[in-house]
Each structure stands twice: as C-alpha cells, then as structure tokens.
Amino acid sequence: MREQATSPASWRRRRRVLLFVLAAAAWTLLSCYPNPWVLVQNLARYRRLPIDPRIEGKMGWQLLPDPGQIELFVDSLLVPTADWPLYRVPWYVPTAAEAARASHGDCEAKAVLLASLLAGKELPYEIRASFSHIWVDYPGRRARPGEAKNLAYLQGEPGRLRARWPAEVPWREVLAVQREQLWEAMPLGRKALWLLGLLWVGLGAALLAPAPAHGELTSRWRPRAIDYLRRCFWLAWLVFFLTALAANLWPDAGRARWKVVDLREVLAVSAVGGALVAWLTALRRRRGVTAEQGGSRLALCSSLGWRKRSRTLETASIAHLELRASAGGLRPWTIAAVLRNGERVALLDYGCEVEARAALRNLGRGLGRPLVVRADGSETWTMADEIGLALRERAARRPPSPAPERPGGCALEVEESDGTWTIRLPAPGRRPSIGLLAFAVAPVVLVALATLGVLRFPGSFIVWAGWIAAIALVSLVTYVAIMLRVELIAYLARVRLEIGEGVLRYHTSEKKVEAVALEQIETIELARQGEVLSLAVVSPERVLHIRGLGAAEHREWVRKAIEYAIANAS
C-alpha cells in the first residue's frame, strides 16, 4: 500500500525527466534544422541519391568517357567544405545541380555529382558508405585512404543499396570526423543558441518541480503566477518554433536559413530573458502550516520572494476545516479554516486529491475540528471524533438507518444474491441500440446527401438551405454526444459496482476492475473528476472515483445506497 501512496510523486518525477529529455531533443533538432523538412528530405535523398544523368548538358560541360578523368574534374571543381558554413545545417545531401552551382561541398556532394556524370556517360559504378564517409567506386579505381570495401556498411547501385555490418570500424576516426564536421564546424552563434535553449529547457523543468517543504504541512501545488509563467514559457517556445518554420519555408528552402546568427544578439536575448525568468521565479509563493502547543494554535507562514508573513490562529476560534474541490483551474484542491465569526482563511493548495485529503485528515486530528468537503455544490461533514474511522465503524456507532428509497425515473438495477450487492445499468436492448446507431449515422447520411445535392444543383437556394441544416444537425449531435460521453460509454460498457467478501469492486468502462477493502473506506462523497461528475470512495491510501452510474440528479441516492450496502455487508 505504501507503493500506491508514493507512486503519484514518483510518476511526476519521471514525467518531468521525460519532458526534459523530449524538450532537449526537440530543441537540438530545431537548433540544427530550423526547417525540419530539410532533415526529412536528407533522409529520403540518402536512401535514394538524387542522381541527374543530364547534369553535364545542363552545365555545358564536355567530358571524356573516362571515369578517372571525370573524378579528377569533380575533385578540381568542388572545394572541400563542411555543410555547416555552406548550407547552415550539420548534414545536407545536395542535388547534382546544387553541388555544381555551389562548387563547394563534402563527400555527399562529390558522390552525387560524380555518380550523375558517370550515369550520363552510362559508365558502371557503385555507391559505398561508411559511418563517416560516402564515395563512388568504379572498375579500375585506385584505392584511397578511408575508402576500402571492408569499411562500407552500404554498397550497391543507386536505389539498390544493401546494408551490412562492416568488417572493420575505426571508431576513433569515426568519432573524430563527426566531431570535426558536426561540432567544430558549427557556427559560434548557433552553438550559443543551442546551449541557451538547453538552459531554458532545464529552467522549464525546474519550474515544473514542486516547491520545497515548509512546516509540518505544506502545499505542493504551485501558485497561480508560476502556473501562468509555465504556460507562457512553453507557449513562447511554440511561437518561436512556428516562427522559425515560417521564416524558412520559402520556395528556395534548400539552404535552411537561420536569422539569429549574431553571437552578441543571442547573448543579449539570453541575458534579458534569463533575468526576467529569474525575477519571476523569485516571486514563487510558498506556504506552510504548523500545529503548535499540542494543537492549541495554528501557525501560518507564507513567503513571496524575499517577503515573509506569519499569522497565528487559536484553535478555539476555528469552527471547522474545509476542503473545497473546484471543477478545474490552477488550484483544484484548497484547504481552508472557517472561523466562528464567518471568516475563511486559506491554508494550503494541492494539485493531488490524495495529498489534499491526507493533509485535511492530519489537520483535523491535530486540532480536533470537524471536516467539511465541498464539491459540486454539496458538502460532506465528518465530526472530529470520527476522523480516521472507517465507514463501517461509523455506522456501528450510529442508529441503524433504513434503506434509501429509489427516486422515480432511475433506471439503475440493484441486486443482492449470494452475499454480493450489485448496482448496474440495465443491459442495452435492441431498440436502444438501434436508436443510438441511428442517432450517430443519420446526420452523417443527411450531410452526404445534402453535399451531393449542392454539387448537382449549385444554384438552388433550397439545396443550400438543406445542406446548412444538415451541418447544424451534425454539430448538435456531436455536442450532445460530447456532453453525454460518460453516460453513453458506461451504458454500453455495462459499468457496475459490486460489494461483497469485504471488498468494493468497480468495473469501469475501460474493462478494468478497481478494488478497495471495505475496512479502509472512510466516506462516500459527491465529487467531480475534472469536468465529470462522480462519486468519491475515500480511503487513507487512495481516492476511487465512480463515474457513469445514473444521472446527476440520482447520485445522492446512489451514494446513500452504497453507504447502506457497506454498513450492512457481512
């Protein structure tokens, strides 16, 4: 059970690490390829090299049909140049025309241009590639350093390349070549921009981390300002990403341009942006609550940047403790102390329901005050002497209550057999199934027919009016389906709740079974999970939300029926 209690925090840590790795990888890709389509294009070209047998005629060259003389011509034409200064990307596979016009290039440019000239002369050749080099081999070619057959992992004619593990891999030379071409040739401004992006990604991961603990009880939910800062942070990166794409998606996008190349400009932006983020981070609000003098008073501590505030509440002035559950937003779970004069003092904010309820129970035990949970306009009271007691222990201390009466119009089925109490939705019959199918398919058919009518009679006003009505009907049906998605899924999936053998089992619409021991259940409360109404089965280790059992107006009866079944379970 301890693993279940700590799993949400460990999952949040793993999620932050995963987000950091993905964000760092995405920023590395964007820094190297402002236009990511260039990388996709490179992979496609490397798989099938862009050979152009007509390049000789396009350039007006006149070469002899001698492969050795052609290679000497290509060597004299192309000045060895890395892809970074030429195409402003770490790796680029140019076409034969691009290599000929640039008269600069690396091994990919030479291989494409030489293969194109040999193909134009109909001379035999093969493409070979190692982990650090690609070259063209033809009959009678003299061996060159680094171009041996035992080093190649790809070889064959263009379009028929065969992959195999090379007989020899000089890893030290491969790493040296990759470092020289990818890092040393990288422009200084691009290096600074890449390192700056990694710094910002790390800062974003730090903003996602919970605030350090302060006091015996403390909120792990981030204040409103930091949440907005986090959203603005990632929104700014999204806008930056789209801007970089838009600035490079032009007809001549072969050379992926990058506008920010000046090191001074990059450093200026990093200084201003880093100072702004550091200033906003310093405004992070921290709040702590500590019970002092055996629970006779409550010390409240809060800090915002360098400002610190403290307040003391006498326990006798507190009427009850309150947990307010909102439908969503930045602070979904708020613990407050309601004073006898009607004042409401906010204590802690939580993003995790289990942590919020655990903090509420601990405060209630320490101060000896009743607890109130408010959700969906309703409230559930727990007296001070009942805090920590299971639902069956509370029922044993109270007079026996009769079974609640079923409200009119409730279609839920209740069964008791072999010591098992079951509440479920009725099985969908043939008529409701046909009705649901017609409800989903009929509007689509009407839109299809209306579209055909518009195409056949484009000038008819009545046809256009019918088409608009059909589109409105589809929108209405979609809206209704979205609003009733939980009830429909639960109806079709036969969601049910079983109580027996000392265990509560909830069969969800995802065909899963979630179980909670009856001895651990403290309360059954009206609640909501996000925007969906639910019933919360509260235990010290977890909170189980039951959704889809009946309409909203019948949830109170369902709650009382479950409490009655648990209290009377053998």
Query: How confident is the model over 107-118, as pLDDT tens digits?
Result: 999 999 999 999
The tokens for 233 are 């942070």
Residue 104 one-letter amino acid? H
What pLDDT score was predicted for residue 114?
94
- Angle, CA 124 vertex, CA 123 and CA 128 arms, to 5°: 130
Angle, helices 2-32 vs 188-208, to 10°: value is: 160
pLDDT score at 225: 52
Which of 184, 131, 138 is closest to 154 using CA atoms? Answer: 131
342/261 Cα distance (integer angstroms): 61
Q: Is the dihedral of CA 130, 132, 138, 140 positive or negative?
A: negative
Which residues make beta-bridge pairs with 406?
Answer: none
Amino acid, single-letter form, for residue 197: G
Longest dimension (CA), the chain: 108
At 223 the pLDDT is 44
CB 367 within 8 A of CB 315: yes
- The Cα angle at residue 546 between residues 543 and 550, in degrees rounded to 5: 155
User: Residue 2: what pLDDT?
Assistant: 36
In this prediction, residue 213 carries a pLDDT of 40
**What strands lie across the sheet with 285-292, from one edge to the other?**
217-218, 285-292, 297-304, 307-314
Q: Cα dihedral sign for 548, 549, 555, 556?
A: negative
Closest residue by Cα to residue 194 from 125, 280, 263, 148 = 263
Residue 505 pairs in a beta bridge with 498, 515
Q: What is the rounded distance in angstroms from the CA atom of residue 505 to the CA atom of residue 500? A: 8
Q: Which pLDDT belongs to residue 86?
A: 86
Closest to 466 (Cα-Cα) out of 475, 483, 454: 454
Structure confidence at residue 263 (pLDDT): 47
Contact 481, 515 (CB under 8 A): no
Displacement of CA 124 from its chain's centroid (Å): 52
Q: Are 27 and 198 in contact (CB under 8 A)?
A: yes
Position 504 scores a pLDDT of 92
- β-partners of residue 177 are none
Q: Residue 163: exposed, middle, or buried by beta-carbon count in 10 A (0-12, 13-18, 19+)?
A: exposed
Cα end-to-end span (Å), the chain: 24
pLDDT given for residue 408 in this prediction? 78
pLDDT along the chain (570 residues), means of 10: 44 73 82 80 86 91 91 93 87 92 92 93 92 91 87 83 86 90 83 76 62 52 50 55 48 43 49 54 68 82 70 90 71 84 87 80 87 78 84 81 80 82 74 68 83 79 82 80 61 76 85 88 78 80 79 80 84
Nearest to 339, CA basis, from 358, 362, 367, 377: 367
Cα 338 to Cα 69: distance, rounded to the nearest angstrom: 93
27 touches 197 (CB < 8 A): yes
